[in-house]
Structure 1
Amino acid sequence: MGNVQGSSTPAHQQKHSAEKIERAEKIATALRMRVAGKTPDEIALHLGVHKSTAYRLIKDGIRRTIGEPAEELVALHMLRLEKMLAGVWPEATSGDVKSINAALAIMAREARLQGLDLYAAQKALQEGRELAAVDKWLEHMVGKAITDAK
């Protein structure tokens, strides 16, 4: 019985792996050349690909180079911020104004890193609320928290 089209035979898997390796090598070469100041036209000529393919190789390489480390860096910052928040939280919840301010600053940074501020703004706009009104409400709540803690 013959192979069904689209099945994964060892030969098909080897070809796919070889194509992935070749693409990774082209991406690495394109990035090295771009860093060295070569134009996408020069990179395309060197690699024997169309100019649009050279652009795509460069873009994919940059995304892989920056994207993953950036995500890891955000995760590392979040861990650090959580540790800092844990350190000031007992005093903040006991009413220590300095600790409350520190906790609020840490929480604000976490919100920015996680995109929560953007989410809240988008939700407010979807609900027909003006951003100025949301900002005013947030200022009121922060001020109230500090006043309540005193």
Structure 2
Amino acid sequence: MIQEFKDFIAKGNVMDMAVGIIIGAAFTAIVQSLVNDMINPIVGLFTGGIDFTNLFWVYGDGSYASLEAAREAGATVFAYGAFLTAVINFFIIAFVVFMLVKTVNRVKSAAEKPDEVAPEVKTGPSELDILIEIRDSLKR
């Protein structure tokens, strides 16, 4: 069983997956910073600075100034604003990742394209031309 585990760990796929997870974690930090520090402020300009995270509804009696105050008081809250914010952030992050992947794929395909091939210069008759000439000679 230990040998099987060693074989499993030693496979290239597991190591590739580990590297992918580590890079993914670093990439997540970059994307979150891009969204939180650069894109969300621009979105805030268009929405007038609306913050959905403080939208909530309290079950039962009680009125609270903020979601945090309601949670600290132990009230049962339906925090739909936090969910809306999470959904909006998901779509923004998904779009940013899509644009990054699209750009990387475009750069990758441009790098893989071979340079323009020089036009072929004919130096003499082709093999087909010679064979046709031989055939015609044999017919005569």
- Using the size of structure 2 for normalisation, the TM-score is 0.30
Give 1 or 2: higher helix fraction.
1
* Greater relative CO, 1 or 2 (CA 8 Å, sep 6+): 2
